[in-house]
Amino acid sequence: MKIAQVGEAILRAIATPVTDSEMKTEAFQSFVDNLLLTMQDANGVGIAAPQVFDERAVMIIASRPSPRYPEAPDMQPLILINPKVKRSANESVKDWEGCLSVPGLRGFIRRSTWVEIEYQTRDAMRVNLRLDGFVARIFLHEYDHLIGKTWLDHVEVNTDIMAESVWRRDIAGITEDV
């Protein structure tokens, strides 16, 4: 699947809910499988349907340690359909984020330290869950794609934007190519 790049209209659109009956179709299940493969092929820790030119409210979060995120917790990919934020922490922290749709840049973005969410699984079961730390950050980043935003909308000052190559060298201390 092709990944939409910043400036494309789909990244500013509000995602549409997926119906329970649609979730049961082979076409939808295949889409979810392909979305996961696209995220993995791009070495991402998350992806949302609008990033592949699809307007449905579907996202995947999949934290794992990597050269880009060496301290990331390891988790199985979590598929979230029609996610909603129920509550989030008043406390927030700034950290660096990248995005498959904003290649070559990193942003120092403020996010809540935890979030309580509701979503549906790919078989339409409703789930409530609390996410903390880096995984909460991934969720909030991907959720932004479902409400027509990117991390660029959260930049507080221009100096909080950095080239990916400079971030790797100066912030992450990564010297090899990723």
pLDDT tens figures, 22-31: 999 999 999 9
176 falls within a domain: no
Q: What is the pTM of this model?
A: 0.94
Task: Tell me whether residue 160 is in a domain.
Answer: yes
Kindly state whether residue 1 falls inside one of the protein's structural domains: no
Confidence band of 178 (pLDDT split at 50, 70, 90): low
pLDDT tens track for 1-26: 999 999 999 999 999 999 999 999 99
User: What contacts 24+ positions apart, CB below 8 Å, involve 67-75?
Assistant: 67/174, 67/176, 67/178, 68/43, 68/98, 68/168, 68/172, 68/174, 68/178, 69/45, 69/134, 70/172, 71/134, 72/45, 72/134, 73/133, 73/134, 73/135, 75/135
Q: Which residues are catalytic?
A: 142
Q: 55-64, 66-75, 83-92: lowest mean pLDDT where?
A: 66-75
3 assigned to some structural domain: no
Residue 4 lies in a domain: no
The response to whether 3 counts as a known ligand-binding position is no
- Check residue 69 and give its pLDDT: 76
- Averaged over 40-52, what is the pLDDT? 95
Number of domains comprising the chain: 1
Q: Is residue 2 part of a domain?
A: no
Output the domain CATH number for residue 124: 3.90.45.10
Give me the chain's average pLDDT, please.
Answer: 95
Does residue 177 fall inside a structural domain?
Answer: no
pLDDT class of 160 with cuts at 50, 70, 90 = very high
* Predicted pLDDT of residue 177: 64
145 is in an annotated binding site: yes
Which residues form the domain of 47?
Answer: 9-171
125 located within any domain: yes
